[in-house]
Structure 1
Amino acid sequence: MSSTKTSRIGEETRVDKVNAELVTLTYGTIVAQLCQDYDSNYQDVNKQLDKMGYNIGMRLIEDFLAKSGVGRCANFRETADMIAKVGFKIFLNVTPTVTNWTSDNTQFSLIFEDNPLADFVELPDDGRAQDELWFSNILCGVLRGSLEMVQMQIEAHFVSDVLRGDDTTEMRVSLVRYIEDEMPPEEE
Structure 2
Amino acid sequence: MTAKAETQNRLVLRKEIIGSRRLSNYLLAVATSIGGLGFFLAGLSSYLGINLLFVSDPSQLVFIPQGIALGFYGVAGLLVATYLWLTIYWDIGAGYNEFSKETGQAKIVRWGFPGKNRQVELVCPLDEIQSVKARIKEGLNPKHSLYLKVKKTRDIPLTRVGEPVPLTKLENEGAELAKFLGVPLEGF
Greater relative contact order (CA < 8 Å, ≥ 6 in sequence): 1
| TM value normalised by structure 2 | 0.22
Hey, which of these two has a bigger chunk of strand by percent? 2
| TM value normalised by structure 1 | 0.22
